[in-house]
Structure 1
């Protein structure tokens, strides 16, 4: 798809659905993570209230709720090959597997770690063939070790761990979308590591160690390229097949293109849309900006306003629609359908007071 076609695709996006994660005014339920399964038309979202809620992806109608963790939920992810299977990780030292066709009272399976690791799971992912689950941990304050744990999803047993590649909390775990043995991880130590987990030892498995020079917020794959968004709003893109060539380095504070009406205050995540990588940024008042990062400096190709009233924490592109979740406890769906009339919005939503941005939601 040509750049002009992608620009036109974004220009046609409207706010078509909007729903509150929680209707309890007393709670500031930051939406922290979302996952979509197109085949079952299901969206899973988790927030700082330790719940997982399920919605219809096409219209954000509520489909169910999971109250299966006692600690903060740090990630949700649908299986890649089974449309009704959902995984969740938590600081309660478990990763749980759910079948969304059930009453959601009991998980299908539970994955736990070693006694030697603290098992505070801060991020996780599932390989593209759904055979391996990998979770990153917070640093063990006693031993100062930082563990990556691996499970066989089919057999449910713990396969092993890596403990020498990071020196601080692991913030991101991300398998390659088509190569089941290729794994990337990011940490507050500033390192982004790439592993071939088919190798027998951690020393053999580590392929690359990249330095973002700041705490890592998000990482993701675009073909053979690996991108990274840091907590100080820098964006890196590396070609890992060409001696880790740095293709793009962007610091939004130094970009002349992101001023005035196109100004942004933070970066959210990368999005691969029609095989092209874009970057999503925002303002603390709730506006979203979609950035083209293919040139010498990022440029805004579309602004999305009217959905959120506070900082957006996560976003996801699927089936030519964008869904976003924020600190205002709102999920917003942006598509090519007709914009929601204001009177319909008033009927669907209970107004919730905007909250200020915090470093942590808990």
Structure 2
């Protein structure tokens, strides 16, 4: 296991004069759940004023569109009546984005006009925690916060809407006992939906089926889930990061475990696993890990459960980084953290991966 960082990057487009300060958009807590600032990027170059857009969620019930090259706020999207919990871009139209919120709605935004074009409502104003679009942008899914039922304990609902019909496609009401913090449609299959719950369970569904037949398998991390997604060149595998900082890898066909990485084995001075990314050039899964000093390290995860250090990001933040976006092709990394700042890093990733 390597001990030396291959490359150390300091002083990004720095917080003092160039980073965008997200006033009152730091981590915030509601109903015992921590909602970090989230962001999703769209780097399709179609129009100068809409290319390279980053969308951030906000504690102020709005979304902000930020230029990923300058971190300048380009637009503010208003319409949610409560905290915005997640956002995503469509795959067929780069001008369209969607968001979910604790107001019980999933909303569609046209970035050319900054208007809320479609609003989909949950049952009984369920608080919605995440959002994902199917491969063809015909279906959109969201998971709800669990609520107490008098005789049945807690339950959460999984929603799938038909966007064209603006109506429910499926609502799974009797599957989940705890809040559904994450939903992810398979990037290559419009019918497969991955979901992660606060009780540590990960479900894979075929959404064409009713709730008694839809579940393909259930995986158990025995801890709350921080991130889940499909990865590798054919998207045949799944990674899951738990709230405890452990990483699980499964193959997606049968859900067989491939490997597990404990936070305690990912190096010294590590407080959190921020996210994972698949690098198509090296065909490896990378993990971004951080500490309370605001330092971030990017590691290549090896198949034997070990790791190889790749990058160290320093002097950009003063406390824990909670979200990270990496674009290896464009040599770009963006981080946000509890200090309320977004920082843009431009490391020489190609050279680093060749070392």
Same fold (TM over 0.5): yes
2:318 counterpart of 1:309: yes
> What is the CA-CA distance between 1:93 and the residue it aligns to?
0.8
The 1-side partners of 2:129 and 2:300 are apart by: 30
Match status 1:38 vs 2:43 = yes
> Where do residues 160-309 of structure 1 align in structure 2 (5 Å cutoff)?
160-199=170-209, 201-222=210-231, 223-241=235-253, 243-253=254-264, 255=265, 258-259=267-268, 263-274=269-280, 275-294=283-302, 295-309=304-318
Structure 1 position 137 matched with structure 2 position 144: yes
Alignment check: 8 A CA contact 2:161 2:168 kept? yes
Superposed displacement of residue 13, structure 1: 9.0
Provide the C-alpha distance between the structure 2 equivalents of 1:197 and 1:210, rounded to a whole number of angstroms. 18
TM-score by length of 1: 0.82
* Mapped contact 1:166–1:191 kept (Cα < 8 A): no
Does the 8 A contact of 2:336 with 2:343 survive in 1?
Answer: yes
User: In structure 2, what is the Cα distance between the partners aligned to 1:21 and 1:183?
Assistant: 35
Greater per-residue helix proportion: 1
Contact 2:284 2:300 in 1 (8 A): no
Tell me if structure 2 keeps the 8 A contact 1:146–1:168: yes
5+ residue gaps, structure 2, are 28-35, 45-50, 349-355
Question: C-alpha root-mean-square deviation of aligned residues, in Å?
Answer: 2.1
- Contact between 2:20 and 2:72, CA under 8 Å: does it hold in 1? no
1:333 to 1:168, Cα distance in 2 relative to 1, 3 A: same
TM-score where L is the length of structure 2: 0.83
Give how far 1:14 is off: 7.2
Looking at structure 2, the residues matched to 127 and 110 of structure 1 have their Cα atoms a distance apart, in angstroms, of 17
Moved more, 154-163 or 171-180: 154-163
Q: Which residue of 2 aligns with 1:358?
A: none
Preserved CA contact (<8 Å) 2:261 2:305: no
Q: SS at the partner of 2:37?
A: strand
Alpha-carbon displacement from aligned partner over 1:33-69 (angstroms, at most 9, x marks no partner)? 1011111211111132322111112222221112321
1:165 aligned counterpart, secondary structure: strand
What is residue 350 of structure 1 aligned with on the other side?
none
Note the alpha carbon deviations across 1:177-234, whole angstroms, 9 max, x for none.
11111110000111001111123x1222111100001111110111111111111111
The structure 1 segments of at least 4 consecutive aligned residues displaced by more than 4 Å after TM superposition are: 10-14
SS in 1 for 2:69: coil
* CA distance in structure 1 between the aligned counterparts of 2:274 and 2:347, rounded to whole angstroms: 22
Find the counterpart in structure 2 of residue 49 from structure 1: 60
**Per-residue CA shift, 1:76-120, capped at 9, x if unaligned?**
111111111111110011111111111x3x4011011223xx511
Please state how far the C-alpha of 1:11 moved relative to its aligned partner.
6.3
> In structure 2, what is the Cα distance between the partners aligned to 1:238 and 1:217?
16
Number of residue pairs aligned between Structure 1 and Structure 2: 316
Partner of 2:157: 147
Looking at structure 2, the residues matched to 114 and 92 of structure 1 have their Cα atoms a distance apart, in angstroms, of: 11
Q: Distance in 1 between matches of 2:272 and 2:100?
A: 26
Unaligned runs of 5+ in 1: 1-6, 338-362
What SS does structure 1 have at the residue aligned with 2:213? helix
